[in-house]
């Protein structure tokens, strides 16, 4: 008479999708096994094993902005059905941008970060926090990721 209350899934029912293996589950020995709700639907993991089914271990939740800014591959943006879509990994991972301006800013920030890291590789003694460009980029990324 009071309605239905949505229940969190049991640990063994929680599953995620990978590009190559389809559904995977968090291994019972993982620290995150008993975690029944993640704020972000994305996890990164270190180890994937197959026993009775495919499991991941050593996993951590990752936010959307952290994935876009620090994930592998190029960041692209397209207009699809009136929405600006940011995509990674050849389109396998997609996000809807709040606006074209937000999408372009995130894409540009990622390009700046990639260039900054290339500069650091070329010049390992460069202090990223002391150079004006590096400190601005790092400050913007920290602010974006922590206030998401």
Q: How far apart are CA 95 and CA 24, in angstroms?
A: 21
CB atoms within 10 A of CB 110: 20
53-102: per-residue pLDDT in tens?
A: 999 999 999 888 888 888 877 888 889 998 999 988 778 888 888 889 98
The candidate with the shortest Cα–Cα distance to 32, out of 53, 5, 7, 62, is 62
- The set of residues, in sequence order, having a beta carbon less than 8 Å from that of 75 and lying 6+ positions away, is 68, 86, 87, 88, 106, 107, 110, 111
Residue boundaries of the structural domains of the chain: 11-62, 65-146
> How high is the pLDDT of residue 15?
87
Q: How far apart are CA 25 and CA 93, in angstroms?
A: 19
> How high is the pLDDT of residue 110?
92
């Amino acid at each position: 008479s009071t309605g239905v209350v949505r229940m969190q899934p049991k640990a063994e029912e929680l599953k995620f999708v990978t590009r190559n293996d389809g559904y995977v589950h968090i291994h019972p020995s993982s620290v995150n096994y008993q975690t029944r709700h993640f704020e972000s639907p994305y996890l990164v993991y270190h180890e994937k094993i197959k026993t009775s089914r495919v499991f991941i271990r050593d996993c951590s939740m990752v936010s959307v902005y952290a994935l876009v800014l620090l994930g592998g591959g190029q960041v692209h943006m397209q207009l699809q059905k009136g929405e600006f879509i940011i995509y990674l990994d050849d389109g396998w991972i997609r996000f809807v941008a709040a606006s074209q301006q937000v999408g372009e800013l995130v894409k540009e920030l990622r390009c700046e970060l990639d260039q900054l890291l290339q500069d650091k590789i070329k010049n390992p003694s460069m202090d990223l926090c002391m150079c004006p460009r590096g400190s601005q980029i790092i400050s913007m990324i920290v602010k974006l990721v922590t206030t998401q």
